[in-house]
């Protein structure tokens, strides 16, 4: 059959007698041979067997597990073509809301392999598949793929997936370990083993030996996130944003952007587009990734003087707020503060915004910033920079900002935070009124 188009998840779509057949790993225009895997009332799902007539954009996947593992879905696509497709998807979503950017800048790019410094790896003990499985789900269904390595994970752990399988297989508690959380900073990396029952002395000894052989730190998580305790090495991780001269500490379970190089460029882009001045508000501020970079453009580290730039970060997770405050102290930034506030709560921001805001940065979750916009009354901040990980919610919110709140979309750029997947980050610059702000 012939693949007619590609859907938002990067799967090819064929028309088979009025029914849609979705086929991962295919490209529009290709003629392919497909094995049916699943049928529903509305559509079918198939597995690629053979490419009979390849598209010019097709490349050989680097990872030997690509066709089985669901962690990546676009390794078969040329990087330029991949970004063009993602950009077209974002622009189409905006156009559906009647929003057209005045300028589309080149996408922010970074490493395509070994880039992922955060991941939650599933763990299952399946004797029928050779014992322990560690990694991501298969492309079809909810079972874990059989992996020995991962090309996109950080080099500290990507080549060691087979070793992790052997380690879990050796544990007495192998059937009671549902996941391993991985996090890497600039100088160290941690594996957090979630375990449903207490570990015996023999298992902790095996984990210590693995840590010594691999150079990885190891921590244990017997319950919720607050229960994490170190077994080998500490829990403190950090990364630098060299262009701003700051360093941010984080906990292995904290949210941080997975691609360090792309994140650094994204922060630089956002701060440049924001043009920090006056009172700046950073909503969904996390550990201070954007907030501290903005603040660094005001008071120099260690200075004790009044500064016209004042930055406030607001975050709903109180633990992340404490981490952000510690990061501000760590970098000796005195023109910044952080507050814990439920940004989804009705009227939560109205009083804060009523005090006046000159610049606003938004970095919401996939659901977007709808509640924030409810509290944003005209005239509003002069400039808004909106960082998004979900094109549909971005389009919805930009439509409201442009058509209902008096902003224009002056610039847009994509950031390829998750190469080889359908996920894409966008950074949008909005300026109040019909003309360029003098700020």
Instruction: Order across the sheet with 279-283: list the strands.
Output: 336-340, 310-315, 279-283, 359-362, 383-388, 425-432, 407-415
Which stretches of 299-414 are DSSP H helices? 318-330, 350-354, 370-374, 391-404
Angle at CA of residue 64, ends 61 and 66, nearest 5°: 60
- 64 is written with which tokens? 């030997």
Active site residues: 389
**In 54-209, beta strands by DSSP E:** 118-126, 131-135, 179-184, 189-194
Residue with tokens 């439920």: 342
| Alpha-carbon distances of 89 from 141, 368, 425, rounded to whole Å | 26, 17, 12
Residue with tokens 């009124």: 433
Classify the C-alpha dihedral 100-82-274-354 as positive or negative. positive
* Helix (H), strand (E) at residue 22: strand 19-23
């Amino acid at each position: 059959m012939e693949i007619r188009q590609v859907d938002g998840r990067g799967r090819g779509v064929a028309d088979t007698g009025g029914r849609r057949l979705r086929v991962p790993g295919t490209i529009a225009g290709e003629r392919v041979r497909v094995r049916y895997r699943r049928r529903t009332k509305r559509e079918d799902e198939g597995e690629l067997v053979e490419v009979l007539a390849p598209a010019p954009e097709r490349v050989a996947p680097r990872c030997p597990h690509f066709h089985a593992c669901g962690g990546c879905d676009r390794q078969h696509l040329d990087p330029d073509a991949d970004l063009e497709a993602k950009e077209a998807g974002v622009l189409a979503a905006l156009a559906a809301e009647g929003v057209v950017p005045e300028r589309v800048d080149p996408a922010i790019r970074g490493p395509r392999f070994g880039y992922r410094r955060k991941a939650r790896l599933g763990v299952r003990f399946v004797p029928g598949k050779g014992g322990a499985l560690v990694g991501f789900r298969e492309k079809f269904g909810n079972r874990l793929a059989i992996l020995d390595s991962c090309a996109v994970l950080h080099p500290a752990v990507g080549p060691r997936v087979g070793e992790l399988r052997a380690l879990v297989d050796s544990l007495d508690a192998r059937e009671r370990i549902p996941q391993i959380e991985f996090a890497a900073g600039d100088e160290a990396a941690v594996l957090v083993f979630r375990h449903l029952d207490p570990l015996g002395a023999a298992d902790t000894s095996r984990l210590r030996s693995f840590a010594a052989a691999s150079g990885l730190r190891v921590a244990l998580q017997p319950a919720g996130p607050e229960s994490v305790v170190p077994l080998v090495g500490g829990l403190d991780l950090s990364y630098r944003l060299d262009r701003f001269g700051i360093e941010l500490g984080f906990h292995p379970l904290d949210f941080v952007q997975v691609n360090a190089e792309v994140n650094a460029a994204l922060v630089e882009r956002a701060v440049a587009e924001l043009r920090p001045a006056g009172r700046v508000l950073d909503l969904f501020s996390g550990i201070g990734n954007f907030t501290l970079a903005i603040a660094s453009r005001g008071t120099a580290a260690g200075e004790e003087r009044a500064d016209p730039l004042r930055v406030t970060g607001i975050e709903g997770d109180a633990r992340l707020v404490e981490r952000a405050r510690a990061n501000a102290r760590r970098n000796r930034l005195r023109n910044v503060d952080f507050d814990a506030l439920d940004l989804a709560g009705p009227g939560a921001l109205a009083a804060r915004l009523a005090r006046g805001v000159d610049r606003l940065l938004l970095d919401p979750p996939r659901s977007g910033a709808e509640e924030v916009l409810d509290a944003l009354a005209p005239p509003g901040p002069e400039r808004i920079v909106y960082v998004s990980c979900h094109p549909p919610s971005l389009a919805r919110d930009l439509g409201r900002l442009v058509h209902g709140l008096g902003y224009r979309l002056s610039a847009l750029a994509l950031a390829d935070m998750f190469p080889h997947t359908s996920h894409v980050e966008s950074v949008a610059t909005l300026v109040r009124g019909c003309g360029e702000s003098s700020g």
